[in-house]
Structure 1
Amino acid sequence: MNPRWLLKAKRWAQNPPSPAKIRFIAAILGICIILFAIERLFGWPVWLTPHDLRRLQ
């Protein structure tokens, strides 16, 4: 583990983030987990798949 991470953890323990910031980060993580679950359940849409235009010529 990098010593910088230990210093950041010490600083975070001394000055914890506000409850609003914790809720914001939890909401972002929740959205990411929901998107991952939807992608796993229904698969990746074909219209979002990039195509190599050089190969099509």
Structure 2
Amino acid sequence: MANKKDPSRNNKEFMIRVRVTNEEHEKFIKRAKENGYRTVSEFIRSLIADEPEVPAAKNAIL
């Protein structure tokens, strides 16, 4: 479903929450900036961007 204010932007359906320490959070921010990302979210999304599609049978929830 497209965003009403910006139709070219897709709405996200899921939120993944991860508890990290302050030190870990700072490392995520540093690594994201070092790799040219504006946000940690963009950096994390990039980690799976090049993953090949997994067949449905192997795509089970762990």
TM-score above 0.5, yes or no: no
**TM-score, normalised by the number of residues in structure 2:** 0.30
Larger Rg: 1
